[in-house]
Amino acid sequence: MNNKRTPPPPVLPPSININENFCLLHKGDIQGEIYTCPGCKTKYCMKCAEKAKNEAKLCVKCKHLILI
């Protein structure tokens, strides 16, 4: 008899489903025009980016100025 022990399969961490079209400003799917941060290439809705700019907010990820 083959008495070799088979190692348990490696437990993979749950894959985080990064949605490319996820806006970090309103925490939902990007709708309409897309604004891309020049610093980190994170995508936001153009509307959210405009709002953030008016409120003198920065990129959530890299704190880059919102340049529209």
Which residues in this chain contact Zn ion in the complex, by CB under 5 A?
23, 25-26, 37, 39-40, 42, 45, 48, 59, 61-62, 64
Q: Is 47 left (phi over 0), alpha (psi -120 to 50) or beta?
A: alpha
Minimum distance, C-beta of residue 15 to Zn ion, in the bound complex (Å): 24
**Least distance in angstroms from the C-beta of 18 to Zn ion:** 15
CB of 57 to Zn ion, least distance (A): 11
- CA 32 to chain CA centroid, nearest Å: 17
Q: Would you say 1 or 18 has its CB closer to Zn ion? A: 18
Beta strands in the chain (DSSP E): 22-23, 28-29, 34-36, 43-45
